[in-house]
Structure 1
Amino acid sequence: MTEITAGIFDNYNGIDIQIFTIQSKNIVANVLTYGALLQSLFVPDKNGAFDDVTTGFDNIEDYNNKGRKDGSIMGRYAGRISNASFSLNDQEYELFKINGDPPKHSIHGGQFGFHTKIWTPKIITNGVELTYISEDMEEGYPGTLTVTITYEVVENELKITYKAVTDKDTVINLTNHAYFNLDGHSNWGKLNRHEIRIPSDFVLETDDESIPTGEFIDVSRTAFDLRNGVLLTDQILGFVPGSNGYDHTYVLKTEASSVEKLAARVESFSSGRVMEVYTTQPSVQFYTANIFTGQVGKEGVVYEKQSCLALETQFFPDSPNRPEFPSTVLTPDSEFFETARFVFF
């Protein structure tokens, strides 16, 4: 049995930001209308004690002032687009330059991506549905795009469904940017008691600005090989080439398909919590919070470098400029439909 209740989380520019609590026997998820974001996620440990396993903040001002996207929906295009531009139907589209030093590339939808928008909610069976209409040429993207994000909780599973339709050819890549630490807020610390397994044979090769080169790296005999499980100690994170931690696209499949696949399995040997992530998307971006600087979050917890991890199920970065990658083009006669499931044990 899933119970859903609604309340007011905060007021932002005179608008009440609603919070929806979606609760089963095994999971309590709190979702906001701001950014369609997952504000908290409570799951039990090996002794049955519930704790919040995601990062976040207690008010909207902190989400804005601290420049964070914790738990938010990323769009229209999650990840990077090189040189903040792409060509579609022989027309060039320019996007907001927000990534790089100086800014050169686009990332996570631009200056005011979906994570900054106020979404329209609707309570449904087992969860909440949030809708946002992105107008033609918002952030430089063509087409009026109607996006619907659904959060559902059933027993020990949180499911996120992404849907979108457009009135003009466009590109789209949606994901949720939650950060996890399975020890929970009462025992928040480094990831060094977390083991991760990602059943992927390849990661995307990137240049020194994290833009894909188009090549695939075989993970065999490298620090990228997570197929049999790796404990995320400081030593292991230091072995990762180029970034002193993981921020890499793991390839789950090389073409778009509706078939769901295991993207990752994470286990905390301290709390005993296990999380498995399943997705219909062709890749998962694994990131170990390498540039966190100690922001104070919920319950006064300090989010230090590499104290949490993100598993962003998505299409490949820079796909609009890489015709060899699975296509992210959405046309008026089709629907964007992808799912991600977070299952806890």
Structure 2
Amino acid sequence: MKQVTISTPFITMIVLDYGAIIQKLLVKDKEGKSVNVVVGFNSPDKYLEDTKSLGACVGRYAGRISNGKFELDRETYHLHQKDGVHLHGGKEGFGKKYWTIEEVHQGRQPFVKLSYQSKHLEEGYPGNLKVNVTYKLINNQLHIIHEASTDRTTVVNLTNHSYFRLDDANQINEYNLKLNCKKVVEMYANKLPTGEIISIDLTPFDFLTEKPIENTRLDNAYVINPKTEVAAKVSSEKSGISMEVSTNQPGLVVYTPLDFPAICFETQNYPDAPNQKNFPNCKLRPGEIYSNKSKFVFDLL
């Protein structure tokens, strides 16, 4: 397993070729000490046993697809599923694959570019898909660029699955959170979309005004307000670190796991878009380029 380290005066980042995983992301707190703001393992080999997609590139379709299948151009494609739910690309999504390190640049705006070739009908998806992910550091910003091209029509939804923890506390209740999202994708109990988009008014998921997370636990697909530049902001008064998230994607899955303190911001399309006609387009055809551009900006309060 290979590691690549890139850094600016503000951020140091360690990336693995396995899963294109962000193993460590070190930023300075208010006292000038380096804090690893992503949850992960010190030993790269531990990721081989990971079941939570820690720091990984998730694909070919991030999130859930209903009934383990979808129809595309009048043909039905069957996917791996458990209890009627296909999750994060299948039994072995992109986060469980070895990627090729294409390029490493250590200059003023350092970056590492990785690629993966997903073969036709891998996990049941049509098309030979060429995927690139580039992690680029610009001063205090992490830019993540996912790109993909295909030789036949397919569906694509890529995201990074880092779990953020902005301090060394064993809880996130005191983190302040703001989400520039007025609506969420309505879900059934199994977290599959009903197909409806609903308002967050009078729900515990309303973070339009910045407030502490407290005991609210989230696993929601938010609809990003297209008029806003920043989709989300989270901060820790203990460390003094704040992080802003912006993206060209229509959705933001915000996830706080129950078994350890952290928060995910998965910039992506809506779950189950292949089966929901009123959701944003997730099809990629030959000659087109899929592009997910997301930015994470770290600062001090």
Band the TM-score falls in, shorter-chain normalisation: over 0.9
Provide the identity percentage: 38
Cα distance per residue 1:257-284 (max 9 Å; x no partner): xx98312100101111000011000010
Q: 3-state DSSP class of the match of 2:42? A: coil
1:340 to 290, 294, 298: 294
SS for the counterpart of 2:278 is coil
What are the ranges of 5 or more consecutive residues in structure 1 without an aligned counterpart?
1-16, 238-244, 293-303
The 2-side partners of 1:230 and 1:250 are apart by 17
| Partner amino acid, structure 2, of 1:113 | G
Q: CA deviation at 1:62?
A: 2.2
Q: Deviations over 1:238-272 (max 9, x none)?
A: xxxxxxx2100110158xxxx98312100101111
- Mapped pair 1:223 → 2:204: yes
**1:252 aligned to which of 220, 224, 228:** 224
Aligned equivalents of 2:147 and 2:123: distance in 1?
20
Gaps of 5+ in 2: none
Q: Is the CA contact (8 Å cut-off) linking 1:252 and 1:261 kept in structure 2?
A: no
CA distance, structure 2, for counterparts of residue 270 and residue 59 of structure 1: 27
Indicate the SS of the match to 1:139. helix
**TM-score (norm. length: structure 2):** 0.95
Which amino acid in the other structure matches residue 228 of structure 1?
A: T
1:45 paired with 2:29, answer yes
Tell me, in whole angstroms, the C-alpha distance in 2 between the residues paired with 1:261 and 1:117: 33
The 3-state SS of whatever aligns with 1:334 is coil
Counterpart for residue 21 of structure 1: 5
Cα distance change on mapping 1:202 and 1:118 into 2, 3 Å:
same
Answer yes or no: is the 8 Å Cα contact 1:173–1:315 preserved in 2. Answer: yes
Flag the 1:127–1:120 CA change in 2: closer, same or farther, 3 A: same
- Partners of 2:123 and 2:243 in 1: CA distance: 35
Aligned residues: 295
Residue 118 (1) aligns with residue 98 (2) = yes
- How far off is 1:150 after superposition? 0.1
Residue 158 of structure 2 is aligned to residue 174 of structure 1: yes
CA 1:212–1:288 in 2, change beyond 3 Å: closer, same or farther?
A: same
The alignment's C-alpha RMSD in Å is: 1.4
Distance in structure 2 (CA, Å) of the matches to 1:80 and 1:175? 13
TM-score (norm 1): 0.83
Cα distance in structure 1, aligned partners of 2:53 and 2:169: 19
In 2, Cα distance between equivalents of 1:109 and 1:268: 32
Residue 233 of structure 2 corresponds to residue 265 of structure 1: yes
Note closer, same or farther for the CA distance 1:166–1:94 as it changes in structure 2 (3 Å cut): same
Aligned-partner Cα distance in 2 for 1:107–1:253: 26
Contact 2:18 2:97 in 1 (8 A): yes
Contact 2:180 2:225 in 1 (8 A): no
The superposition leaves residues 159-205 of structure 1 with CA deviations (integer Å, 9 ceiling, x where unpaired) of 0001100000000000000001111xxx2310022011001110111
Is the contact between residue 132 and residue 148 of structure 1 (CA under 8 Å) also seen in structure 2?
yes
The SS at the match of 1:41 is strand
CA distance in 2 between counterparts of 1:276 and 1:253 reads 15
Say which of 166, 172, 181 aligns to 1:191.
172
**AA aligned opposite 1:209:** N
Q: Deviations over 1:83-120 (max 9, x none)?
A: 1100000000000014xxxx321100000100011111
Q: Relative to structure 1, is the Cα distance of residues 260 and 88 closer, same or farther in structure 2, using a 3 angstrom cutoff? A: farther
> Which residue identity lines up with residue 159 of structure 2 in the other structure?
T
1:104 maps to a residue whose letter is G
